[in-house]
Chain A
Amino acid sequence: MKQFFVFIKKEFYHIFRDKRTMFILLGMPIVQIIIFGFALTNEVKNAKIGVLDFAKDAASTSLITEIQASRYFDIAQTLSSQKEIEPVFQKGNVKLVIVLPANFNAELTHLHTAKIQIIADATDPNIANQLTNYASAIIRDYQQRITENQQLPYTIQTQVRMLYNPQMKGAYNFVPGVMAMVLLLVCTMMTAITIVREKELGTMEILLVSPARPFRIIVAKAIPYLLLSTINIASILLLSVFVLGVPINGSIWLLLGVSMLFILVSLSLGLLISASADTQQTAMFIALVALFLPTVMLSGFMFPVANMPVVLRVLSNVVPAKWYYNIVNAVMIKGLGVQAIWKELLILSGMLIFFLGLAIQKFKIRLA
């Protein structure tokens, strides 16, 4: 047992004494969360828009104030004629123009109906769609409020609810994806690399010749990475709750439990790679091509699996990250319990047994 601990201690020395490893292990998750959470978000904030207000009455002014106050829009141009609309779009100054007709207040109060024109730059259809949705939502909000004040008997309301992600935050989608990626990076790639490094340096020769049991050597090498991964999960969850504002809707213990399962799957994949690679480069290459790319592409976190061609859909089933991604989505975002994820749990457990068995079988107690 003492052997075992001394091994783990040594492994921590390696990690703590190499700044690059330290950064990959502890800095990467934070960097990834921040990049995905902020920079790569598809959420629109402070989009520049133009307003053409023909009415300039009480109602139009208060609606414009409301739009300006929202965090989505920033009124960059106040236009005075129809002719000015085209040029501001062409210059790319604004993404959207809201046109309020003359007599806006009068029509609204007397006829109970008013028309507002929203013109969007649809070069990027996704953004145009989002912006018009936001604008309509603000206008509906406004309409709802003034109707309440007047207490009229019939009011037609359109109500759209965004399920699970009411603010349509990108972070909801990314957090589970980043968790899967980071765990894969730390557990699979780093574990594989450190084992292969011992082969490259020749220290594996000495270890194999020692009475230390080969499999125990490998397990001891994996343990520090297991510990570090739990730190990573904690830091990702803390960041997502307190910085990105993504709540944990389900049971945190269930979430940690399934993460542990996924870590074990990743570790056994790392062991499998280390058994077949002889240089750190090869290990890195296998990890990147065979694991990282499929994780990013096929786990569903970048591109929805349902929209993929059949071949890719079938292929995505062998990507462990896909199942983990589904689980985290269900537990963390939707707040579901074990009964909703038992199928995924079963698949991941099966993968763990398979990969671990293969890794043990392939592990060499000799050199060639």
Chain B
Amino acid sequence: MAAVSVENIIMSYGKKKQKINALSDISFSVAAGELFGIIGPDGAGKTSLFRILTTLLLADSGQASVNGFDVVKDMKQIRKRIGYMPGRFSLYQDLTVEENLHFFATIFQTSFSENYNLIKDIYVQIEPFKNRRAGQLSGGMKQKLALCCALIHRPEVLFLDEPTTGVDAVSRKEFWDMLQGLKKQGISILVSTPYMDEANICDRVALLQKGKILSIDSPAGVIAHFKNPLVAVKAKQMLALLEKIKTLDFVQDAYPFGEFHHVVLQNEKAVPSLEQELEAADLGHITMHKVQANIEDCFIQLMKN
């Protein structure tokens, strides 16, 4: 049985005149025990999708189920079995770390000690601050506390909506390590993120843009779909370089990428042509080498097609 199954979900906002499709005909499924990532920028429809799956919103049409329970009919069953961490920090800022945990444990009809094993690894990191009010924690600590609260009743499926947004790189890395640990405990996890580089840690990802799924596959599978040759180039005058590359007709796309510009070429034959063109242009210290595309390159290509 799939942990999450979504079939032809359509969801729109606004009045008749200006109807905006938050989700247009989305279908996918998450296997039990899988760490599944929904990768997409703000406004892609990630939050709407999460709210439909956590029974908070009703879709216009389509069907969805969590662990076999229908999100509309079996609302109560689902609410007992899932853990949810909304995008905004949503714990009680004026309660201490411990009070928040005990409160949510009781709300979910369990106790802090009952499932302590599950959250132990995460909790020990915030334990030194257990008497501090949640509002006074740092961003990373807040995320950890929110995760503990979402896990306190040992949910079967965990929904994490943008858990790493606005969190610094160190905390983000720690957070993903924690998710790997939870996966080992057999919890199915559906997580969304706007950070493309986080896709690689998921078992499978769905790239979501403007309410449409661009691609669903394992990260390696998504990358394998990127067929064009990709070249990273660098010069002293980066802006002039980019403008020059964009004028070349064998270049499909070019964009800044870290310290380089990534150049998507139409075919293998274009690689030497690019080399020639750039050497002819006087842009100073040109270096170029072929690179493997990553999820972000794929996302850009899929977005433009």
Contact = CB atoms under 8 A, between A and B. Distances in A.
B51 A367 contact: yes
B107 A210 contact: yes
A111 B305 CA distance: 117
Interface string A159-188: 000000000000000000000000000000
Interface string A1-26: 01100110010011001100000000
The main secondary structure of chain A at its interface with chain B is helix
A366 B76 CA distance: 12
A208 B88 contact: no
Given A205-B56, A209-B54, A13 B99 contact: yes
A17 B87 CA distance: 26
Interface string B82-102: 101011111111110001001
A209 B107 contact: no
A203 B92 contact: yes
Nearest to A210: B107
Interface string A346-368: 00000000000000000001111
A202 interface: yes
Contacts of B84: 205-206, 209
A108 interface: no
B82 A13 contact: no
A208 B56 contact: yes
A58 B152 CA distance: 91
Interface string A191-221: 0000000000111011111111000000000
Contacts of B88: 201-202
A211 B79 CA distance: 5
A263 B175 CA distance: 47
Interface residues of A, number: 24
Q: Which of B82, B102, B104 has the most CB of A within 10 A?
A: B104
B67 interface: no
Contacts of A2: 106
Given A6-B107, A13-B94, A206 B102 contact: no
A367 B56 contact: yes
Nearest to A201: B90
Given A3-B107, A209-B79, A211-B79, A14 B56 contact: no
Contact of B80 (A7, A13, A18, A211): A211
Given A14-B92, A201-B90, A367-B56, A207 B107 contact: yes
24 contacts: A2-B106, A3-B107, A10-B99, A14-B95, A201-B92, A202-B88, A202-B90, A205-B54, A205-B86, A206-B84, A206-B86, A206-B91, A206-B104, A208-B55, A209-B84, A210-B104, A211-B76, A211-B79, A212-B107, A365-B75, A366-B56, A366-B57, A367-B57, A368-B57
Interface of A: 2-3, 6-7, 10, 13-14, 17-18, 201-203, 205-212, 365-368
Given A6-B107, A205-B51, 10 more contacts: A3-B107, A13-B92, A203-B90, A203-B92, A206-B90, A207-B107, A209-B55, A209-B79, A212-B107, A366-B55
